[in-house]
């Protein structure tokens, strides 16, 4: 008997009969997974039947063979781009001494402590790489009598424990519901630029960016660096290199010029020696020169290009974002019968947008499958994730019978299917959150939470920093605080009305 046949027989024997399933398996132990597990644990018996699995993708995740990227979207010197009190979860605040915009390492410490404080670490399975998720008929034994078996359509989740020897590392869990909370910064993306394969310089994705302070690992000195993409990460890396990289030149190329980019890039090019260029048209394979598209005649002032239309960089940094990536939903290569493995109708073919998700959370085709943390460009990612987790637990776990029909779910999704902003909420963030609030008893509206719970914490940090850096004479501005308090009180009344009048569908 071959080893492969023996392994398959062992797998079949292992999968033959399972113990009573979990109610929920959460894939991901980041912020969205932690807050989901915390809320489930608060629900008593349901919460004790929850297992968050940490996803670790150890496979090579390069875009092109020569473009290194990182499986974790945290480059050196990365900081939160929101005040810390908009990145924390309700009831578990940052220490007042923590910087207003904390480093990635500080955020990681916060989330670790959050998990321990709420008992998530006691049920979580860390160091697991999720390799397969499928829905299939499964035989399960009764909790009271192991000889009694029933058959149930369950999620089967196969993981590999990276801390165990290969032969003992495989584990299989079954669950009635699957909650995917592994984020959407997994599959790094780089555009296909004509002539890119002929480029002789270095190429990296922003996720693999090495800070200028780490000179032993990499040196940016005297190099011409072209950053492709003018979003948050592209602008931030441009600032870091212009300030401390000792580069010969820093160039940022942007395809489109959105209002958000204008705020970031306008400050960047006016404060630092950074050149702004339009999108790359092509790369000349003979000269190595990068040719840029013609500047739009209606907005020529936005690009400080002078008359130069070509550049010859030494390094390209692709700050061009990510694609949605769920490799554990794909059938294994050696599985000839993949009929039980679900297709992925919830991911658009190009990987840039999630589809067929009711309220941006629940799979319309299978309401036992949910996603947390998909919307991006939020006013507060933590608030959005917490509202989503509350909605999922209340509606999909505790009261699934109250979910609308598939037709109604489709209508909700179709109402925004052609939205050009895709999964970016932007200024629609508060409307979306209040729609979720309306379907979960006991939650306060978005602006009510921001004004009543978050803003006082932000002001507390501001006051703490102010006291540490100014003299007593300069601190005599309490009358201004009193005026500000009065304004906030009036704003709160207005926002309460805005929260209560939010619509139930998002255009």
Q: What is the pLDDT of residues 282-309, one digit of tens each?
A: 999 988 899 998 765 455 555 554 446 7
pLDDT (average), residues 5-14 = 50
pLDDT confidence band for 506 (50 / 70 / 90):
very low
pLDDT, residue 359, reads: 96
pLDDT (average), residues 395-423 = 91
Lowest mean pLDDT among 21-25, 208-212, 484-488: 484-488
Per-residue pLDDT at 117 exceeds 90? yes
Q: Does domain 18-59+77-185+324-437 have CATH number 3.50.50.60?
A: yes
Ramachandran area for residue 44 (φ above 0: left; ψ -120 to 50: alpha; else beta): left
Is-same-fold flag (18-59+77-185+324-437; 190-320)? Answer: yes
For residues 205 and 250, what is the distance between their CA atoms, to the nearest angstrom?
Answer: 16
pLDDT, residue 6, reads: 52
Global pTM value: 0.80
For residues 91 and 454, what is the distance between their CA atoms, to the nearest angstrom?
Answer: 10
pLDDT, residue 262, reads: 61
Are 7 and 129 a contacting pair, CB within 8 Å?
no
Domain boundaries, the chain: 18-59+77-185+324-437, 190-320, 446-500
Higher pLDDT residue, 139 or 48? 139
Q: Cβ contacts of residue 386 below 8 Å, gap of 6+?
A: 35, 39, 89, 90
Query: 3-state DSSP call for residue 288?
Result: coil
For residues 320 and 59, what is the distance between their CA atoms, to the nearest angstrom?
Answer: 21
Residue of 473, 352, 491 lying closest to 422 (CA atoms)? 352
Per-residue pLDDT at 128 exceeds 50? yes
pLDDT (average), residues 481-490 = 71
For residues 325 and 41, what is the distance between their CA atoms, to the nearest angstrom?
Answer: 28
Bridge-based pairing of strands 224-228 and 249-253 is parallel
Q: What percent of the chain has pLDDT over 70?
A: 73
For residues 186 and 71, what is the distance between their CA atoms, to the nearest angstrom?
Answer: 6
Q: Cβ contacts of residue 399 below 8 Å, gap of 6+?
A: none
Residue 332: both structure tokens together: 């294994």
pLDDT, residue 362, reads: 97
Query: 3-state DSSP call for residue 487?
Result: helix
Residue of 105, 75, 386 lying closest to 232 (CA atoms)? 75
For residues 425 and 380, what is the distance between their CA atoms, to the nearest angstrom?
Answer: 11
Taking CA 188 as the corner, what is the angle to CA 182 and CA 190, rounded to the nearest 5 degrees? 155
Per-residue pLDDT at 67 exceeds 80? no
pLDDT (average), residues 66-80 = 57
| CATH number for region 190-320 | 3.50.50.60
pLDDT (average), residues 88-93 = 94
């Amino acid at each position: 008997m071959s080893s492969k046949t023996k392994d398959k027989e062992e797998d079949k024997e292992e999968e033959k009969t399972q113990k009573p399933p979990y109610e929920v398996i959460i894939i991901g132990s980041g912020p969205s997974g932690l807050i989901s597990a915390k809320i489930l644990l608060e629900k008593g018996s349901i919460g004790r039947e929850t297992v968050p699995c940490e996803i670790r993708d150890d496979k090579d995740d390069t875009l092109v063979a020569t473009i290194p990227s990182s499986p974790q979207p945290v480059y050196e010197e990365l900081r939160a781009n929101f005040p810390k009190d908009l990145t924390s979860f309700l009831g578990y605040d940052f220490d007042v001494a923590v910087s207003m915009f904390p480093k990635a390492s500080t955020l990681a410490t916060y989330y670790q402590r959050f998990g321990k404080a709420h008992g998530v670490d006691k049920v979580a399975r860390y160091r697991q790489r999720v390799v397969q998720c499928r829905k299939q008929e499964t035989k399960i034994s009764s909790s009271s009598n192991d000889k009694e078996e029933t058959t149930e359509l369950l999620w089967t989740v196969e993981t590999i424990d990276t801390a165990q020897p290969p032969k003992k590392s495989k584990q299989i869990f079954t669950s009635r519901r699957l909650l995917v909370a592994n984020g959407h910064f997994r599959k790094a993306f780089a555009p296909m630029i004509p002539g890119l394969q002929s480029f002789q310089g270095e190429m990296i994705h922003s996720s693999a960016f090495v800070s200028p302070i780490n000179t032993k690992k990499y040196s940016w000195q005297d190099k011409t660096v072209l950053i492709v993409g003018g979003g948050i990460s592209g602008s931030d890396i441009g600032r870091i290199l212009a300030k401390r990289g000792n580069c010969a030149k820093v160039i940022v190329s942007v395809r489109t010029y959105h209002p958000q980019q204008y705020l970031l890039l306008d400050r960047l090019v006016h404060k630092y020696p950074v050149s702004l260029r339009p999108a790359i048209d092509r790369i000349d394979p003979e000269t190595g020169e990068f040719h840029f598209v013609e500047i739009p005649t209606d907005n020529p002032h936005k690009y400080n290009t002078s008359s130069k239309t070509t550049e010859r960089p030494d390094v390209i940094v692709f700050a061009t974002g990510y694609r949605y990536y769920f490799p554990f939903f794909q059938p294994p290569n050696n599985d000839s019968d993949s009929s039980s493995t679900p297709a992925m109708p919830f991911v658009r073919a190009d990987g840039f947008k999630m589809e067929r998700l009711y309220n941006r959370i629940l799979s319309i085709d299978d309401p036992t499958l949910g996603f947390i943390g998909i919307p991006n460009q939020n006013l507060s990612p933590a608030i959005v994730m917490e509202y989503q987790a509350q909605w999922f637990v209340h509606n999909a776990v505790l009261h699934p019978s109250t979910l609308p029909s598939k037709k109604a779910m489709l209508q909700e999704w179709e109402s925004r299917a052609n939205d050009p902003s895709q999964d970016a909420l932007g200024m629609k963030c508060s409307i979306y959150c209040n729609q979720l609030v309306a379907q979960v008893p006991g939650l306060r509206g978005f602006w009510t939470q921001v004004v009543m719970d978050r803003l006082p914490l932000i002001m507390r940090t501001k006051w703490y920093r102010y006291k540490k850096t100014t003299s007593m004479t300069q601190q005599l501005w309490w009358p201004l605080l009193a005026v500000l308090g009065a304004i906030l009180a009036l704003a709160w009344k207005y926002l309460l009305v805005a929260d209560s009048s939010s619509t139930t569908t998002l255009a």
